[in-house]
């Protein structure tokens, strides 16, 4: 019986912490950016909490944009001052410890993905929230800009989703490798 308790203590004391620390793979921010059609700096100014009567797993964060660093979508133009609605995991339905939620008034550089249903999302990896001022480190280069300084879109949402189903990364960006 003592052996059982000793083994339980050893497994619980040494094995489980190493498993818990492996929840998220380390990803370099530059390796993640090709997956994101939209990269903005902004502040979460409102959070729409999901309706418990409706079966959804997401709350909707309203991010007021203070800078647009990348926008590959022609059918979703964004400018400074616009609000982008982005999914994050629902507060009322915590499923796992890996659910990603961000607080109201959180200001950051947001690496925003496009879900297969066309919704903007911050639910993939904690790397999607970067500190303000890390733009050059994260993005590394300026993307195609128009004469007004706004990023030029190159795909519709449907085109981006179709491309993401067949390949990984940014359809226009061939200089970077995609993260597995």
Identify whether the C-beta of residue 59 lies closer than 8 Å to the C-beta of residue 88: yes
Q: Which string of b and e fits 121-139 if b means at least 16 CB within 10 Å?
A: bbbbbebbebeeeebeebb
CATH number of 26-166: 2.40.50.120
Q: What does the pLDDT read at residue 15?
A: 46
> In this model, does residue 40 exceed pLDDT 60?
yes
Read off the pLDDT of residues 132-173 as tens digits, 9 standing for 90 and up: 988 888 877 655 555 454 556 677 888 888 877 776 555 554
pLDDT category, 177, cuts 50, 70, 90?
A: very low
Position 20 scores a pLDDT of 41
Please give the pLDDT value at position 97.
Answer: 55
- 73, with CB counted inside 10 A (0-12, 13-18, 19+), is buried
pLDDT at 99: 64
As a whole number of Å, the CA-based R_g of the chain is 19
Q: What is the pLDDT of residue 63?
A: 95
**For the chain, what are the domain ranges?**
26-166
Residue-wise pLDDT for 2-30, tens only, equals 665 555 555 555 444 434 444 666 778 88
Per-residue pLDDT tens over the stretch 70-121? 888 888 888 999 999 998 876 665 565 556 778 889 999 999 999 888 899 9
Show Cβ contacts of residue 78 under 8 Å, excluding neighbours closer than 6 positions.
38, 40, 65, 68, 71, 84
pLDDT at 113: 92
Whether residue 41 is predicted with pLDDT greater than 60 in this model: the reply is yes
């Amino acid at each position: 019986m003592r052996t059982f308790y000793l083994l339980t203590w050893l497994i619980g004391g040494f094995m489980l912490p190493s498993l818990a620390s492996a929840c998220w793979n380390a990803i370099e921010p530059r390796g993640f950016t090709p997956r994101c059609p939209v990269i903005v700096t902004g502040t979460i100014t409102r959070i729409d909490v999901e309706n418990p009567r409706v079966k959804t797993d997401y709350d909707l964060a309203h991010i007021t944009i203070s800078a647009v660093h990348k926008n590959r979508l022609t059918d979703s133009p964004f400018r400074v001052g616009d609000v982008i609605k982005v999914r994050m995991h629902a507060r009322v339905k915590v499923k796992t410890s890996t659910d990603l939620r961000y607080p109201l008034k959180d200001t950051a550089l947001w690496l925003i993905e496009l879900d297969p249903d066309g919704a903007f999302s911050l639910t993939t990896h904690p790397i999607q929230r970067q500190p303000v001022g890390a733009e050059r480190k994260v993005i590394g280069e300026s993307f195609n800009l128009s004469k007004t300084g706004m990023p030029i879109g190159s795909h519709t949402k449907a085109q981006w989703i179709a491309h993401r189903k067949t390949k990984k990364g940014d359809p226009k960006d061939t200089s970077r490798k995609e993260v597995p």
